[in-house]
Amino acid sequence: MSEVDIGYDGEIIPKEEKVFDFGKLFVLAVFSVYFLSILSNYSGWCFIDGMNIWVHEAGHFLFAFFGSRFLTIAGGTIMQLLMPALFVAYFYLSGQRFSAALTTFWLGENFFNISIYMTDAVVLELPLLGGGGSESHDWLNMFSMLGILDRTETIAAATRLLGVAIILFAIGWGTMLSRKSKTGV
């Protein structure tokens, strides 16, 4: 006898056997290996950073219209998180859940990437776009303006942990969405 579920009104509902969509699992495996390799051995620039830097820089430009120096500086990071979050929301709301799970990797990687930039606020070793000195370091400026430069490492570690958690969530969510019933639904 096959397993059954009991519906809310006491109705007996046969359970459908689930199988994996191996195409989705393959894509998920590629994303997982790529993003986990970034987390485990971040040695500088990676492919996705090429896109992230332009999104980041566009954020400075867009947020400059608010007329606040702080928002202009923060705009890069805001945009770097907002862009992938908007893609996740778009795919989720349009019913493309697996695509939403995949773009969640991008969101998590951005948190991880931002944590590295935060950490650099006290050591100032990263090369900055445009070659500016410490006066053009976003996180040095923001942490200094907020009076929390001494908390840089703690904030960066929490941001890094959030990025890792989001990527692990994307793996779990993508795995769950890779299952389908034997009838193909």
- Beta strands, E only, the chain: 4-6, 12-14, 18-20, 179-181
Count: domains in the chain = 1
Please give the single-letter amino acid code of residue 66. F
Please give the pLDDT value at position 127. Answer: 76
Residue found under tokens 């907020």: 146
Whether residue 121 contacts residue 136, with contact meaning beta carbons closer than 8 Å, is answered with no
Tell the residue number behind the tokens 């195409």, with chain if given.
23
The whole domain housing 55 covers 28-39+46-180
Q: Is residue 11 part of a domain?
A: no
Measured in residues, the chain has a length of 185
Q: What is the per-residue pLDDT for 121?
A: 93
Residue-wise pLDDT for 59-72, tens only, equals 999 999 999 999 99
pLDDT of 14 over the 60 cut: yes
Alpha-carbon span 105 to 95, nearest angstrom = 18
Instruction: Give dist(CA 88, CA 107) in Å, integer.
Output: 8
Contact 112, 105 (CB under 8 A): no
Please give the mean pLDDT across all residues of the chain. Answer: 88
Percent of the chain with pLDDT over 70: 83
The mean pLDDT value for 44-51 works out to 78
133 within some domain: yes
In-domain check, residue 153: yes
Asked if the structure places residue 144 within a domain, the reply is yes
**In-domain check, residue 143:** yes
128 part of a folded domain = yes
Is the pLDDT reported for residue 29 higher than 70? Answer: yes
pTM of the entire structure?
0.85
Span 90-116, average pLDDT: 96
